[in-house]
Amino acid sequence: MKITINQKNLLKALTTTERIVSRNPSLPILNNILLKTENGRLKVAATNLEIGINYYIGAKINETGEIAVPARIFSDFISNLGEDKITLVTKNNVLSLSTSKYKTQILGLDPKDFPIIPKIKGDNFSVIPSKILKNSLTAVFDSVAVSETRPELSGVYMSFSSNQVVFAATDSFRLTEKINELKHKEKNSLIIPRNTVTELIRLASDIQDDIAIKLGDNQVAFVTNDIEIVSRIIDGSYPDYKKVIPDKFISKTLVKKDELEKNVRLAGLFSSSIADIKLSCNEKNISLTAKNSDKGDIQVSIEAVLKNEPFDISINHHYLLDGLKIIPTEHVIIEYTGHGSPLVLRPEQVNKDLVYLIMPLRN
């Protein structure tokens, strides 16, 4: 390989790919980044065997070739260089870098040992604007189960029907569903692992373009002009979560979201493991109380508009805060659906595109 490349472009590719490089002592090749000339561009690739990223950048290619180089030292070096043209030459698995001022040799590994990142062929299964992908994944992310006890819950469920793409996640303590109206040909559904979701959110935040989705047997690829993220799909069938979302409510209250968020945070300081914090919703206000025998107690009241009967509920304040965080409107609707039933949070306009459920505390 003999190529010339712009430092800024190379650094951008490294910043993205390096994130998934694992510090894997048992499989040292995974600590490396693959550099490979491909169709007139340089491919910068990394994989942790669950996710693989291919990042393509423009380069002046004098001689094709490939090498695997340690991610850490390579990206430290490139990021400390000023903006400049860099010439990369490989010989016997050694990468020689030179710029107008520097001469460096980095010891690499045989690119043949680098794991293959599968290529998913065929047509795009779907195309999603990056903004919709980012907002939807961000909204449901907190509800993804952290534990792997039930593997199917440790990812985001994406379901495609003729005119909707639905995102859902639940860890069985709370549940988020985000519906997007989006024309689409085929029906299908898949579960994307948590770590892949994190990478997709970052990717979708960085770009403006649409993102194409390609489906393989056990793999899914998210593809733009320059970047491919290839991930395993979680095996298993997602629970029929729709039946958990109540279609009726007993009472509901409308309250300023920021005001409630701030006060839940304060009350949470005095939460106890038994009742956490308590919401009492009356005609004109919500009063929050918490009492902790080691710390003290708090009571605070904020304005709200109630429909139907007053209600009381004990609630996990962390889950409530996570829910309030994703409500995009100035006010939030809180629906009480009965003792032992979920508490439901919705944006102000009674639209059906976002819903957040907190399951009842078991006493």
For its own copies, the closer CB: 76 or 209: 76
Binding of its own copies at residue 265 (CB under 8 A)? yes
The C-alpha atoms of residue 90 and residue 1 are separated, in whole angstroms, by 5
Binding range to its own copies, per CB under 8 A, among 93-101, 109-117, 148-156, 275-283: 93-101
DSSP code of residue 24: -
The yes or no reply on residue 24 touching its own copies (CB under 8 A) is no
Element (H, E) at 217: none
Contact between 76 and its own copies (CB under 8 A)?
yes
Residue 225: CA atoms inside 13 Å, Cβ hemisphere, count?
Answer: 6
**Minimum Å distance from CB 333 to its own copies?**
23
Under rule CB under 8 A, residue 27 binds its own copies: no
Among 27, 49, 269, 274, binds its own copies (CB under 8 A): 269
- Give, for 68, the enclosing helix (H) or strand (E): strand 66-70
Binder to its own copies among 212, 254, 266, 361 (CB under 8 A)?
A: 266
The contacts of residue 227 (CB under 8 Å, 6+ apart) are 16, 53, 54, 55, 56, 203, 207
- Least distance to its own copies, CB of residue 70, Å: 7
What is the per-residue DSSP string for 234-292? Answer: PPS----GGGGS-S--SEEEEEEHHHHHHHHHHHHTT-BTTTBEEEEE-SSEEEEEEEE
Nearer to its own copies, 159 or 263 (CB): 263
Size of the site for its own copies (CB under 8 A): 30
Tokens of 126: 């779907």
Binding residue (CB under 8 A) for its own copies from 27, 84, 102, 185: 102
Q: In Å, how far are 88, 105, 197, 252 from 167, measured between CA atoms? A: 43, 47, 11, 25
Work out how close the CB of 226 gets to its own copies at its nearest, in angstroms, rounded to a whole number: 27
- The answer to whether residue 103 forms part of the interface with its own copies (CB under 8 A) is yes
CB 158 within 8 A of CB 340: no
313 contributes a contact to its own copies by CB under 8 A: no
Q: Which stretch binds its own copies (CB under 8 A): 32-40, 73-81, 144-152, 246-254?
A: 73-81
Candidates 11, 29, 57, 106; binder of its own copies (CB under 8 A) is 106
**Torsion 89-95-97-102 (CA) sign:** negative
270 binds its own copies (CB under 8 A): yes
**Piece of 5-13, 151-159, 182-190, 262-270 that binds its own copies (CB under 8 A):** 262-270
Cα radius of gyration rounded to whole Å, the chain: 25
CB of 88 or CB of 354, closer to its own copies: 88
Q: How far is CA 207 from CA 110, 120, 136, 251, in A?
A: 33, 22, 15, 42
| Binding of residue 104 to its own copies (CB under 8 A) | yes
Instruction: Indicate which single residue of 101, 112, 248, 362 sits in contact with its own copies (rule: CB under 8 A).
Output: 101
Q: Residue 264 CA to chain centroid, in angstroms?
A: 25
Binding site for its own copies (CB under 8 A): 70, 73, 76-77, 80-82, 94-95, 101-107, 262, 265-266, 269-270, 294-302
